[in-house]
């Protein structure tokens, strides 16, 4: 910090003899005029002020000595600031009064018509933005000294209007805090902001319809008028191609209805969801997805929903150009069940499959090894054999499932992924290895145990 010794302060010092410093204790290294034995006289000329600029740190260092009191130093600084404000505290407006505002204002040119690609993106956003909602997770907590409970927002995300009945689709983890308290159907778990045509957001209570942790999806319901509910149009994620354009709309960091544009960067990715599960068949995109985008739509170039944005791969917590969305094929399979039943019925074999580590220890490198088969299951009736011990205590391997309807299965995870494509009651053909034999067994899938 630079300080300037001022004329008025020096005269005050000399005239009123408030302080008397010896030369070696003078606040500064350079005198503007001359010194006396018992005091200092500074320059009274305005043109000498520029020669009296001193460093405040140096001033204080040279002023501190065993005979200088703290009161003296503090008072001197206060006096200086009062009589000559710092150049950082004062400013002078510079201008040229000879010019007019019109002379210094540049011409403004009309922007003209948008390019066709820009116009298409604008239209897609305006068409679909009303189908995107802002969701705030709330948790009911008792408040001390007050009867009842108080709603406390704990997070925010996005969602899409599914139908005109008020069903809202979002991610499980967006309302995860409320779901962790095991609310029943019909309980308020979120606040939902819906954008009206006049640009005003209207707030509604979001009651729980159903949630599926395994696919990171949840359905809420709001009691809103039909004129506010603009359902999203659902497209086919199975027809996506890497490189085609896609758009994401959401509420990143609370900035509602934000549009980002990118391309489909990859397909059939495994998504490691915030719910702690792995979701197969994910869509990878470089459209910027940030916290708050979760639950919002990923649209194709025609404005159809092809995915629900759910996760990003990042080391900073913000978009790194690697975002993931749950494909609409999965959404179409899960959401109707949640609306109808409040939960998802999954098809399975209901047999105990060996974890990969156990299978490797038993020298099973390819396929899903069956450990146990319940006696009353459809799998037992179909003839599947479990792993057992022989009379000599040796392990006799059970059936190893290597394919489902001709689709190869290399591990337990791939078996679950393959069966996930089917519904309860459907028949599949299992290709199994039993000892040195290759067999094909038809089996009817039953509801998978939780």
Catalytic residue of the set 10, 158, 167, 173: 173
Catalytic residue of the set 43, 237, 273, 294: 294
Annotated catalytic, 34? no
Tell me how far CA of residue 104 lies from CA of 97, 98, 107, 108, 238, in angstroms: 12, 11, 10, 12, 58
Annotated catalytic, 173? yes
Bridge partners of 141? 150
Annotated catalytic, 294? yes
Catalytic residue of the set 216, 286, 399, 420: 216
Catalytic residues, which ones? 173, 216, 294
């Amino acid at each position: 910090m630079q300080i300037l010794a001022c004329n008025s302060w020096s005269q005050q010092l000399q005239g009123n003899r408030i302080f008397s410093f010896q030369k070696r204790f003078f606040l500064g290294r350079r005198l503007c005029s001359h010194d006396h034995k018992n005091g200092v006289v500074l320059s009274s000329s305005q043109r000498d002020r520029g020669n009296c600029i001193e460093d405040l740190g140096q001033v204080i260092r040279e002023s501190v000595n065993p005979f200088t009191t703290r009161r003296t130093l503090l008072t001197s600084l206060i006096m200086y600031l009062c009589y000559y404000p710092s150049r950082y505290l004062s400013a002078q407006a510079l201008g040229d009064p000879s010019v007019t505002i019109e002379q210094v204002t540049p011409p403004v040119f009309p922007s003209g018509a948008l390019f066709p690609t820009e116009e298409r993106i604008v239209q897609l956003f305006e068409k679909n933005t009303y189908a995107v909602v802002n969701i705030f997770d709330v948790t009911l907590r008792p408040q001390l000294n007050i009867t009842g409970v108080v709603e406390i927002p704990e997070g925010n995300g996005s969602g899409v209007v599914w139908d005109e009945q008020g069903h809202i689709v979002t991610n499980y983890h967006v309302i995860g805090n409320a779901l962790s308290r095991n609310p029943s159907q019909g309980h308020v778990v979120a606040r939902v902001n819906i954008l009206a045509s006049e640009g005003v957001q209207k707030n509604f209570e979001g009651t729980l319809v159903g949630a599926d942790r395994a696919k990171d999806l949840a359905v809420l319901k709001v009691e809103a008028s039909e004129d506010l509910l603009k359902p999203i149009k659902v497209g086919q994620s199975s027809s996506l191609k890497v490189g085609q354009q896609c758009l994401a709309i959401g509420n990143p960091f609370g900035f509602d209805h934000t549009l980002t544009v990118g391309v489909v960067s990859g397909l059939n990715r495994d998504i490691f969801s915030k719910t702690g599960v792995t979701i197969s068949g994910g869509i990878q995109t470089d459209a910027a997805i940030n916290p708050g985008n979760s639950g919002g739509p990923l649209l194709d170039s025609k404005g159809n929903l092809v995915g629900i944005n759910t996760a990003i791969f990042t080391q900073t917590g913000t978009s790194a150009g690697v975002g993931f969305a749950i494909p609409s094929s999965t959404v179409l399979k899960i959401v109707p069940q949640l609306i109808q039943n409040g939960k998802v019925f999954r098809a399975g074999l209901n047999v105990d499959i060996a974890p990969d580590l156990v299978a490797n220890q038993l020298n099973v490198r390819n396929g899903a090894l069956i450990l146990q088969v319940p006696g009353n299951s459809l799998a037992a009736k179909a003839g599947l054999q479990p792993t057992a011990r022989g009379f000599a205590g040796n392990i006799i391997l059970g059936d190893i499932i290597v394919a489902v309807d001709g689709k190869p299965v290399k591990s337990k995870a791939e078996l679950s992924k393959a069966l996930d494509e089917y519904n309860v009651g459907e028949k599949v053909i299992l290709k199994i290895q039993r000892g040195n034999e290759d067999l094909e067994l038809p089996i009817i899938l039953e509801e998978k145990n939780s």
